[in-house]
């Protein structure tokens, strides 16, 4: 029954979307669809176009964080906006994401007078927590009514490093949206590999895929590579022979519909990430789109792919192994089909309505526990 007033806080700006922002947006839309009253607070400039349910928590500032550049909001003005939002919302529960990030989530934990639920997306350890400020971080953790971790690894860190447990609830994916997506047109002729992410960011592993693609393309004159995401194509193609480089197609930042179309249209989606991932959102999206997936065997990806039962795995950082496994999958349509059929059933556990129901159970438990701080 949809009867809760829910405040959700994003530490990251919506102007450069990432996995956490997509998670928050989809969760909010699913909860609103179920009848709940939802408001999302996120860093944003006054001129930024935001969904109707998103409120600006102040101008975002780009800072290095977690191996990337994050757009955060902090300081007295942001703190004042958080207080006004909490007061105006009169929420039954506030759900913050990445509460140890120095941004709005941290401020909301210390401001809210209702139960606070936190979702941990990244596997932050105590050493990193201490570097961020021991006393502030500990105060934030002590003010949480319940914790959610998006993966087994993220939950393990909660238990071993942050002095508390967490309910494991994975990131969601709108399965129906991806399943009905028509393949992106025009599609290059020949078999196609797909990649999505910030391809100039080392941990995303595009350099490995570039090397593997060069090996594969040498014997497959019609093989193509589609790349979605932000970065500098000239840097990404450095070292490739022109005849190979011309078969790499950069689509840039795309809409959700175009992203779904790319995933639905490629023969093989490859995630060569080398680390720093706590889940694997794009893997679930590709599975929902009906595409065979091949990923590095980092712990988060192994979990999403059920230890290789519903998608291929290769040793992290090994371009030769990536080329070998990708070659076998490209050459064996029946093997790809077998993975896709198994993934079609497996991915249902990540469908947003099911995931959102589990999140609401945590909300209700926190409310029932009587941790209202007003």
The pLDDT tens digits of the residues spanning 240-265 come to 999 999 999 999 989 889 999 999 99
The whole-angstrom separation of Cα 83 and Cα 79 is: 6
Lowest mean pLDDT among 93-107, 155-169, 178-192, 245-259: 155-169
Query: Is residue 251 classed as helix, strand or coil in its secondary structure?
Result: strand
Q: pLDDT grade, residue 161 (50/70/90)?
A: low
Per-residue pLDDT, averaged over 98-120, amounts to: 93
- In CATH, the number for domain 175-348 is 3.40.50.2000
Cα(227)–Cα(197) distance, integer angstroms: 8
The residue ranking higher by pLDDT, 125 or 18, is: 18
At 102 the three-state DSSP class reads coil
> For residue 350, what are its two tokens?
């990540």
Q: How large is the C-alpha radius of gyration of the chain?
A: 21
What percent of the chain clears pLDDT 90, i.e. is strictly above it? 68
pLDDT value at position 16?
74
Task: Work out the average pLDDT over 288-304.
Answer: 95
More confident residue, 221 or 16: 221
Question: Per the structure block, which two tokens stand in for 149?
Answer: 């971790």
Q: E strands within the chain?
A: 5-9, 37-42, 54-56, 61-65, 68-72, 93-97, 116-120, 146-149, 167-168, 192-196, 224-228, 248-252, 268-271, 292-296, 312-314
Which CATH number is associated with domain 5-172+351-368?
3.40.50.2000
CA nearest 128: which of 57, 192, 67? Answer: 67
pLDDT confidence of residue 23: 92
CB 128 within 8 A of CB 145: no
What is the tens place of the pLDDT at every residue in 57-73? Answer: 888 877 776 566 777 88
Pairing of strands 68-72, 61-65: antiparallel
Higher pLDDT, 137 or 40: 40
Mean pLDDT across 99-120: 93
pLDDT for res 39: 98
Higher pLDDT among residues 372 and 40, named by residue: 40
The C-alpha atoms of residue 252 and residue 196 are separated, in whole angstroms, by: 10
User: What's the mean pLDDT in 277-295?
Assistant: 93
Start-to-end Cα distance in the chain? 25
In this model, does residue 160 exceed pLDDT 70?
A: no
Higher pLDDT: 276 or 67? It is 276
What is d(CA 262, CA 257) in angstroms, rounded to the nearest whole number? 9
Closest CA to 14 of 41, 39, 42: 42
| pLDDT for position 344 | 96
- The arithmetic mean of pLDDT across residues 283-289, rounded, is 97
Please tell me whether the peptide bond between 186 and the residue prior to it is cis, using omega within 30 degrees of 0: yes
Q: What are phi and psi of 33, to 5 degrees?
A: -60, -30
Given a cut of 90, is residue 187 above it in pLDDT?
Answer: no
- In this prediction the pTM is 0.82
Q: How far apart are CA 220 and CA 124, in angstroms?
A: 42
pLDDT of 123 over the 70 cut: no
Decide which of 144 and 66 is more confident. 144
Closest CA to 97 of 64, 114, 121, 81: 121
Does the pLDDT value for residue 179 go beyond 90? yes
Q: Which residues pair with 312 in a beta bridge?
A: 294
Assess whether pLDDT exceeds 70 at residue 124: no
Domain with CATH 3.40.50.2000 in the chain: 5-172+351-368, 175-348
Residues 203-239: tens digit of each pLDDT: 999 999 999 999 999 999 999 999 999 999 999 999 8
At residue 190, the pLDDT reads 84
Residue 221 confidence (pLDDT): 93
CA dist 239 and 214 (Å) reads 10
């Amino acid at each position: 029954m949809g009867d809760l007033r829910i405040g959700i806080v994003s530490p990251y700006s919506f102007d450069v979307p990432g996995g956490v922002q997509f998670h928050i947006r989809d969760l909010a839309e699913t909860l609103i669809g179920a009848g709940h009253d939802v408001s999302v607070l996120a860093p944003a400039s006054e001129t930024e176009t935001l969904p109707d349910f998103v409120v600006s928590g102040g101008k975002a500032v780009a800072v290095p964080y977690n191996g990337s550049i994050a757009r955060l909001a902090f300081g007295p003005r942001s703190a004042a906006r958080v207080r006004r939002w909490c007061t105006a919302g009169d929420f039954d529960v506030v759900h913050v994401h990445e509460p140890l990030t120095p941004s709005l989530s941290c401020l909301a934990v210390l401001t809210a007078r209702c139960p606070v639920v936190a979702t941990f997306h990244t596997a932050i350890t105590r050493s990193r927590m201490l570097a961020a400020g021991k006393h502030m971080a500990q105060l934030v953790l002590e003010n949480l009514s319940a914790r959610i971790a998006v993966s087994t690894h993220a939950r393990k860190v909660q238990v071993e490093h942050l002095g508390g447990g967490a309910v494991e609830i994975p990131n969601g994916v709108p399965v129906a949206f991806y399943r009905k997506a028509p393949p992106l047109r025009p599609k290059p002729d020949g078999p196609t590999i797909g990649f999505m992410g910030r391809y100039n960011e080392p941990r995303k592993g595009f350099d490995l895929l570039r090397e593997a693609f060069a090996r594969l393309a040498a014997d497959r004159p019609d093989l193509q590579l589609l790349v979605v995401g932000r970065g500098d194509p000239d840097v990404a193609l450095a070292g490739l022979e022109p005849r190979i480089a011309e078969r790499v197609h950069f689509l840039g930042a795309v809409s959700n519909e175009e992203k779904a179309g790319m995933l639905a249209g490629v023969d093989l989606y490859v995630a060569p990430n080398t680390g720093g991932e706590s889940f694997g959102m794009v893997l679930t999206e590709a599975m929902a789109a009906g595409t065979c997936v091949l990923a590095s065997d980092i712990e988060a990806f192994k979990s999403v792919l059920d230890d290789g039962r519903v998608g291929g795995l290769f040793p992290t950082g090994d371009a030769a192994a990536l080329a070998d496994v990708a070659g076998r999958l490209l050459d064996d349509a029946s093997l790809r089909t077998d993975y896709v059929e198994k993934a079609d059933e497996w991915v249902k556990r990540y469908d947003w309505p099911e995931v959102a129901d589990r999140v609401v159970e945590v909300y209700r438990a926190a409310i029932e526990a009587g941790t209202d701080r007003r």
